[in-house]
Structure 1
Amino acid sequence: MTPQSPTTQPKTALVPRRALRDGVYDAILEKLLDGSTPPGSSLNIDSLSRELGVSQTPVREALVQMEHTGLISRTALKGYRVAPPLSAAQMTELMDARAVVEIAAVERAAPRAAELLPDLRAAHARHVLAAHQVARLRGGEGPPTGYADLRECFTADWDFHLVIIRAAGNHFLAQMAESLNAHAHRLRQSVDHGTFDTAQAVAEHAAILAAFESEDPAAPVAAMRAHLTAIDHRSHAEEDADA
């Protein structure tokens, strides 16, 4: 009888463990972004494990992963706390960094417009549907019941950007973009949940899509730059309104 490879069992166990950690991460992220766990709140590992019905291990792993996004911070002997929202200066720095990375990606992806257009159209269609769902649930009278629909809209929004970033064909650009998107959750955390920019984002994505369809290599760069500038202006408008 051939002995079982000692590496077989750990490899098969990694997938469900990672899936559990990612599920816990998403659940905690939702608590942070829907306002139920505001900035400064403590995050107790034992309480979270009981609330989510899991052991402390995936909770601890998810919190370690989340600490890298800046959404939470860990203090010795005090544990984890929800970090404060981004300051105005930090918002500007984040959007400036996104512009550097994403404009570079668009410049590299533009010559491959014919290849990326089917995926970009599909991503845009998913974003339109997700934004429509959020608008329908809001009904003009506040945020949707439950945060899952808004999170789905955020995901669809980012997936549109990812199509372009991946079409650039640069692994390191993609890594930088993914890292910046993790920090963008803090920008979403600072947004007043009574007002969302889903309609504006959809319209701006439509302009980017049209720019790629135009076959003018300069048009997608201009459209993406306009989109990122508009996001920056909206984020500061929210802060000014709260001041």
Structure 2
Amino acid sequence: MPAHDPPVSDDRAGTGGPAPVPPVRQPLSDSVYEDIKAMIMDHEIAPGARVGIEALSRRLDVSPTPVREALARLESDGLVVKRSLSGYRATELLTRQGVEELFEMRLLLEPRAAALAALHADESQLDAIEAIQEDMEAHPGPAGPYASYRDFAALDQRFHDAVAAAADRHLLLDAVERLHAHLHIFRLSSLPAEDDPTLAEHERVVRAILRRSPERAAEAMADHLTRSLERQLSRFEEK
């Protein structure tokens, strides 16, 4: 019988299985963006303070280029502002009036978005909204430094953006995204994780959208935002 070549093994590492896949590295610009963002969220860079490009590049041991790119992104997030002759500064924290005005806008926009999502969301959009809600349940709620609740905060923003996207109204989605509400609210100070009702309130919104009930979806979103506003204002009273 003719000789056969021995089978080719996938065991490149000598462990009996396929070679391990190397971890995906985060691009430098994204890493620098997240580092500076955390400094602002945790007030390591104080509200209103100057944000020096050279100082940050030395601190992060990177060239000024990714720092400039990060600051441009943070400006679009509303976390820094660029002023002529004085460079970048961290934006001031929202005042009580600022919080009220932010939620006034959200209450005008997001209940309507939820109602339209109940009418227009396709199956992939419904799946995405459900998946974000499930991911939020698996992540810790806000408490402690920004790094500990970053994923929760990002998912919270994604949830509201996904509902707005499912409304099938591009200007409405753009308005909701441009508020950057979650960054400004979480930056005031993180809320205690215990008994935080955010997930339960989101669940009511999800159920109403899945049931194709625009009235209930709008009501659930308005209730969530109203209760969230009450929680934010109570912190000003505590101070």
SS in 1 for 2:151: helix
Q: Any gaps of 5 or more consecutive residues in structure 2?
A: 1-26
Task: Select the residue among 182, 185, 194 that pairs with 2:183.
Answer: 185
Q: What's the C-alpha RMSD, in Å, of the aligned pairs?
A: 2.5
Task: Select the residue among 202, 220, 226 that pairs with 1:229.
Answer: 226
- Is contact 2:114-2:209 (8 Å) kept? no
Aligned residues with identical type, % of pairs: 30
- Considering fraction of residues, name the structure with more helix: 1
Over 3 Å counting, the alpha-carbon distance change for 1:55 and 1:187 in structure 2 is same
Over 3 Å counting, the alpha-carbon distance change for 1:75 and 1:196 in structure 2 is farther
Q: Deviations over 1:167-217 (max 9, x none)?
A: 111222222211112x541222112x4635882111111111222234432
TM-score when scaled to structure 1? Answer: 0.77
Matched, 1:106 2:114: yes
- How far apart are the structure 1 equivalents of 2:117 and 2:130? 15
Runs of 4+ with deviation above 6 angstroms:
none
TM-score when scaled to structure 2? Answer: 0.78
Number of equivalent positions = 213
Task: Select the residue among 184, 202, 206 that pairs with 1:205.
Answer: 202
Matched letter for residue 174 of structure 1: L
Residues 10-89 of structure 1 correspond to what in structure 2 (within 5 A)? Answer: 19-89=27-97
Which structure's CA Rg is the greater one?
Answer: 2
- Is contact 2:119-2:214 (8 Å) kept? yes
Matched, 1:240 2:210: no
Q: Any gaps of 5 or more consecutive residues in structure 1?
A: 1-18, 136-142
Q: Deviations over 1:33-84 (max 9, x none)?
A: 1232222333211111122232112212322332344322344444333222
SS in 2 for 1:199: coil
- How far apart are the structure 2 equivalents of 1:81 and 1:217? 42
- How far apart are the structure 2 equivalents of 1:150 and 1:178? 20
Matched, 1:122 2:131: yes
- Is contact 1:130-1:156 (8 Å) kept? no
- Is contact 1:130-1:149 (8 Å) kept? no
- How far apart are the structure 2 equivalents of 1:118 and 1:163? 10
- How far apart are the structure 2 equivalents of 1:173 and 1:194? 28
SS in 1 for 2:93: coil
- How far apart are the structure 2 equivalents of 1:53 and 1:35? 20
- Is contact 2:115-2:209 (8 Å) kept? no
